[in-house]
Structures are given as C-alpha cells and as structure tokens.
Amino acid sequence: MIQPTDDVNGTILHIGAGECQELSYYLETSAETVVLVEPNPEAATKLRQQSAAHFSRINIHEMAVSKSDGKAPFKVLNYPAFSSLHESIQLRTLFPGLLCAKQVEVETKSATNFFNEIELNPRKKNWLIVDAPGDELEILQACKKNNHLHKFQFVTLHCSVLNSYRESIESIDIKCWLVQQGYKVNQTDDSDPDSIILLFSLDVLRVENRALKEENIKLKSDLSASLRQKSLQEADLEELKKRYLEVREAEKRQHELLIRIKQSLLVAKEYLHLLEDRFTKKQ
C-alpha cells in the first residue's frame, strides 16, 4: 500500500474501508483516532471483530456516505472490492464473471451531513482515504463545503480509470479537482490496469498563496468599490455646492430686486405727495 511520508498524528478517516487490510498499519501510526466507514454489514462485522482490542482508538460507522440520508440498496459483488451503491457499467465488460452476489439495504448519510459530524484538529496531520466507487467527487466536494478538506494533510483516492459505474467521474477529473484545491500527487499505484490509487499531500504554501491572492483580489475589489463610492459622493458634493451657489445667486437677485422695488415705491410715494400738494393749492 502507498502511505504518507510523514507520520499521521491526528485522525485517519477511511470511507469505504471494506475489511480494511490497512488497519494494522493505521494502528502503527501516531493517529489519535481511526474512523472506518463501511456499508457492507459482513465487512463491518469483521471490522468490529478486528478492532475489538483497540476500541479506544477506532470508531466504526456501518453506513454509506452518499448523496442523501436514508436507505439504499448496496450491491455486493463476487469481487468485494467492486461492491457499490451504483450499478456497474464497464466492469461487466472487463470482468465477464463479475456478478452481484446479493443486494442489501444499508443506511446512507449525505456527505454534507457526515462531515458536519466529524471533528478534526487542524493542527494535527490528518489523513482521508476515499474508496467509494461512484461517490468520490461528491464526498470530496462535501468535505470542502464543510471547510474540512484542508484539514487533511493527506488524501488517498481509490478510483477506476474509466467510468466503471453509473454517475461516476473519471479519475483524471477528480485528480484535476484536487490539484485545483492545492494538493499535489505524491505517489501513484497503477499496478492494476483498471483502477488507480493516488496519494495526495496538501501543498500548504500553494494554498496560502492562493488565499493571499484571493484576499488581494477582494481588497482591490473593495478599494475599487470605495473609490467609486467616494467619486459618487464627491460628485454629489459638487452638485450640492453648485445648487447652493445657484440658490445664493437667486437670493442675491431677489434682494436686489426687492431694493429696486422699495426705491420705486419711495419715488411713487414722493410723486403722490407732490400731486397731493398741487391739488391742495388749486383748491
């Protein structure tokens, strides 16, 4: 198996653990907690038996992490590694002898709700392993949505090379998505021509640099908005000043007009007095 170069001292979360052949290695690490998620009842029972002596470190969830909460038929194939909630498509072409041994109803929990209930110490080195055929990207995106993705220093992805299941995403697309989130491929196991195992590690400097760039873009956007607001305010202020001067000018004209009217009234009054005197003298 491919494994992280650094010791994991936080949480190991394995979604789609199966019978977890990696369990002995998980227990050799410094991980405080090992969380195993497996929907197949028989495999989950074996996990509980294997982990009985380490119950204080191991938590087992008998469920499938998928799109929604509830119940769903889980297809147990005669090759257990290919068992899934989803209908296999190309697998039957690649493996003509592949059969659905049985179908069991299992509990499902939406990836979003599942990660809501997971507690991770961001100061520790945590490791996420995803082996859930057809639901890989759904799980990873929910992990990001809940702000948990970057709490995992390491991510191991088990997936098919091609679209082997209905609704599945090709491994190259999932790989590109993880790289976009700031992860880099550390190790690859492509010994199986039909499936691939990828170990990613978080490129902390790249993530921080990306966060700084996003913050810089936001600050520039806020500054631009502030400058536009300031420009609008200054334009409004200039408009107010202009209107104020217009009002003052109108008041000045009104005052001058009032003075002229008063002067005209005085002249008219004197003229009336003069006419009154003339009329009195004639009498």
The domain of 137 spans: 11-202
| pLDDT surpassing 80 at residue 119 | yes
Total number of domains in the chain: 1
Q: Do the beta carbons of residue 37 and residue 63 sit within 8 Å? A: yes
Q: What is the pLDDT of residues 35-82, one digit of tens each?
A: 999 999 999 999 999 988 888 899 999 999 988 999 999 988 888 777
270 has a pLDDT exceeding 90: no
Q: Is residue 24 part of a domain?
A: yes
Domain assignment of residue 247, yes or no: no
The CATH number assigned to the domain holding 28 equals: 3.40.50.150
Is the CA virtual torsion 41, 43, 46, 48 positive or negative?
negative
Half-sphere exposure of 31 (CA within 13 A, CB side): 29
pLDDT tens digits for range 213-232: 777 788 888 888 888 888 88
Q: Give whichever of 40-44, 203-207, 209-213, 229-233 has the largest mean pLDDT.
A: 40-44
Calculate the dihedral angle through the C-alpha atoms of 48, 50, 52, 53, rounding to the nearest 10 degrees. Answer: -160
In a domain, 259, yes or no: no
In a domain, 1, yes or no: no
CA gap 160, 107 in Å, rounded: 24
pTM: 0.74
In a domain, residue 235? The reply is no
